[in-house]
């Protein structure tokens, strides 16, 4: 790579790297974005993993936080080819008795379908749905004085609780308890741990406010639109460039790294203070995922009709079954009945598979670093709620945690959240500092999901890191958020 000088270099082209590069370029700087793979995207890539014509999302698939991200909303991504598709049912949660709880756009209708838990669900979600536009930027950012402290406090009191504690206080029906457990299990922690309610609340609020969309053509479409906009501003992208040392980069005033603490230490550890290095070395990664993609001869034949209309289906039956499986996984075991997250994009997006055929995408949680093949356990669970599913499988592609990490080095041990998001690492990720995005070395910043607010395709880690670098290094302000 030519050793030319630029104002800033961003390493890594996941959603946060792209967001950081865009925010810096929008401020009038010259920015170079470098990516180790042939294509940009990080966790936003789409490939033919099974058979020709079957397009699978390699990592992220459904994007409740992307479409209405406070930063992405400020960008004209529709002008760069990005189109979202909104399933009528954001998420469905089938039970063994053949019924399913559903999360849909209408808050009253979702609550009504929960029977005797209708009032409890409304009391839980109605305040958050009303307050979310005022607190979104604070929830999806670093710990700071909130713009609306009382509304933020209301959210925080619920969000800091354990999911099982909140469920036991509010819900009595298997439908409401199961639906809630599936949402909270996105935290990749035992549901008895504090803060596991946070992700459940945020995901449910997004469904009622905006839905859970999937990008037409695959998750790669989000990356392509972000890159196209960045280039339209004058930004530069170089692929096939693996960074193992800062010495490889061109001269610049700021470097922003979309990497987790382990890679950060490898790339720039010699620049850091002993205390900061020690903090990075103590950073904790969590459970991993085992993923399966299928090419199918038809849609997944779910027994519950609501599941056939859902973009996402959570498979785990009752709260008790999900909680037990997540606890076992956290303890280093592989449950026979894992919680499975399944997406069926081709039901809504015909571009994902040949005519009359379909794709399905699923993963379960496993201990970090696991190499155990969970295909049988996952397919057995799908078959449990969709008899005849196995007969429709044309081909499959699997990835264990080590293969996930080899594909994307940010997925340490298969951890797709960039590290545990528990009470100890919620706002102090990756280290306890006045700004989590600053390292101890001047001009070097971290902008990955290992910073607040953590995992998800929202770009907010990248935006906040860029805002900090703009202020510190260039005396500039980042563009205000929506």
Partner residues linked to 93 by β-bridges: 101
Selected from 1.25.40, 3.40.30, 3.40.50, 3.90.660, the CATH number assigned to the domain covering 87-118+143-213+286-407 reads 3.90.660
pLDDT at 3: 55
Strands (E), 316-414: 340-343, 358-366, 393-399
pLDDT at 11: 98
Q: pLDDT tens track of the chain, all 482 residues?
A: 455 689 999 999 999 999 999 999 999 999 999 999 999 999 999 999 999 999 999 999 999 999 999 999 999 999 999 999 999 999 999 999 999 999 999 999 999 999 999 999 999 999 999 999 999 999 999 989 999 999 999 999 999 999 999 999 999 999 999 999 999 999 999 999 999 999 999 999 999 999 999 999 999 999 999 999 999 999 999 999 999 999 999 999 999 999 999 999 999 999 999 999 999 999 999 999 999 999 999 999 999 999 999 999 999 999 999 999 999 999 999 999 999 999 999 999 999 999 999 999 999 999 999 999 999 999 999 999 999 999 999 999 999 999 999 999 999 999 999 999 999 898 889 999 999 999 999 999 999 999 999 999 999 999 999 999 999 999 999 999 97
**Helix crossing, 196-209 with 149-159: angle to 10°?**
120
Query: Sheet holding 31-34: strands in order across?
Result: 236-238, 31-34, 8-11, 254-257, 444-446
The answer to whether residues 90 and 212 touch, using CB atoms and an 8 Å cutoff, is yes
Contacts of 247 (CB under 8 A, 6+ apart): none
pLDDT at 428: 86
pLDDT at 1: 44
Which of 183, 203, 69, 187 is closest to 136 using CA atoms?
69
pLDDT in tens, 183-209: 999 999 999 999 999 999 999 999 999
The answer to whether residues 90 and 106 touch, using CB atoms and an 8 Å cutoff, is no
d(CA 77, CA 203): 22
The answer to whether residues 418 and 286 touch, using CB atoms and an 8 Å cutoff, is no
Q: Where are the domains of the chain?
A: 87-118+143-213+286-407
């Amino acid at each position: 790579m030519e050793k030319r000088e630029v104002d800033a270099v961003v390493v890594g082209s996941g959603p946060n790297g792209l967001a950081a590069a865009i925010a810096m370029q929008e401020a009038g700087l010259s920015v170079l974005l470098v990516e180790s793979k042939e294509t940009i995207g990080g966790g936003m890539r789409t490939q033919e993993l099974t058979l020709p014509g079957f397009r699978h999302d390699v990592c992220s698939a459904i994007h409740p936080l992307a479409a209405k991200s406070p930063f992405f909303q400020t960008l004209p991504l529709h002008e760069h080819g990005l189109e979202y598709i909104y399933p009528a049912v954001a998420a469905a949660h089938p039970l063994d008795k053949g019924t399913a709880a559903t999360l849909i756009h209408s808050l009253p209708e979702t609550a009504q379908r929960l029977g005797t838990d209708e009032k409890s669900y409304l009391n839980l979600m109605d305040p958050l749905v009303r307050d979310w536009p005022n607190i979104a930027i604070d929830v999806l950012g670093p710990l700071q004085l909130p713009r609306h402290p009382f509304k933020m406090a209301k959210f925080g009191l619920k969000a800091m609780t354990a999911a099982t504690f909140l469920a036991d206080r509010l819900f009595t029906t298997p439908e409401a308890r199961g639906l809630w457990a599936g949402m909270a299990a996105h935290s990749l922690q035992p549901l008895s741990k504090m803060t596991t309610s946070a992700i459940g609340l945020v995901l449910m609020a997004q469904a009622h406010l905006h839905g859970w969309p999937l990008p037409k053509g695959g998750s790669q479409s989000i990356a392509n639109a972000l890159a196209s906009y960045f280039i339209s501003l004058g930004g530069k992208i170089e692929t096939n460039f693996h960074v193992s040392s800062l010495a490889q980069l061109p001269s610049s005033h700021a470097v922003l790294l979309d990497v987790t603490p382990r890679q950060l230490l490898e790339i720039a550890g010699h620049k850091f203070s002993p205390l900061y290095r020690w903090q990075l070395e103590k950073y904790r990664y969590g459970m991993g995922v085992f993923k399966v993609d299928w090419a199918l001869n038809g849609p997944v034949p779910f027994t519950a009709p609501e599941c056939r209309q859902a973009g996402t289906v959570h498979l785990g039956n009752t709260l008790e079954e999900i909680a037990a499986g997540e606890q076992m996984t956290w303890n280093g075991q592989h449950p026979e009945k894992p919680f499975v997250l399944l997406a069926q994009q081709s039901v809504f997006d015909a571009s994902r598979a040949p005519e009359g055929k379909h794709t399905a995408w699923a993963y379960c949680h496993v201990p970090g670093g696991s190499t155990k093949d969970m295909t049988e356990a996952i397919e057995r669970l799908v078959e449990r709620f969709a008899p005849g599913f196995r007969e429709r499988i044309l081909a499959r592609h699997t990835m264990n945690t080590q293969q996930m990490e080899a594909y994307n080095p940010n997925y340490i041990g298969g951890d797709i959240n960039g590290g545990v998001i528990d009470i100890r690492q919620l706002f102090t990720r990756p280290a306890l500092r006045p700004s989590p995005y600053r390292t101890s070395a001047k001009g070097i910043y971290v902008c990955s999901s290992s910073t607040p607010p953590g995992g998800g395709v929202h770009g907010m880690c990248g935006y906040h890191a860029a805002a900090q670098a703009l202020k510190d290094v260039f005396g500039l302000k980042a563009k205000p958020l929506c």
